[in-house]
Amino acid sequence: MRKYRDVDATAKWMKTAVSEEMIVPALASAVIAEIEAQAAVHAEQEIEISARGVSIAGLEKEVGSMHKELELIYCLLREYGLKDKVAGILEKNEVVPSY
């Protein structure tokens, strides 16, 4: 403060000092608020990913059971000798791939 000798210069220096003292905490709180907001969004996305993962796992299990049922149907068709007729119909309708 010694370098400011007149009253106007001292007032100017005080305004600058107050502004600088207020800017740093304001910027810090803005950065902290942004980090917290991003963390909240990230947490929500992780919850959504987890829920979709559970849903996908359930669908994969269902598809697996359908493949087992399809294999059983084909075994029964072969056993009763109906494979060629039924498999031809199913393949024609693109229901199942040819075996």
The two most distant CA atoms of the chain are separated, in Å, by 111
Rounded to 5°, the CA angle 52-55-57 comes to 110
Tens of pLDDT, residues 56-84: 999 999 998 998 988 888 787 777 777 67
pLDDT of 1? 45
Q: How far apart are CA 17 and CA 13, in angstroms?
A: 6
Answer yes or no: pTM beyond 0.75.
Answer: no
Tens of pLDDT, residues 15-52: 776 776 777 777 788 889 899 999 999 999 999 999 99
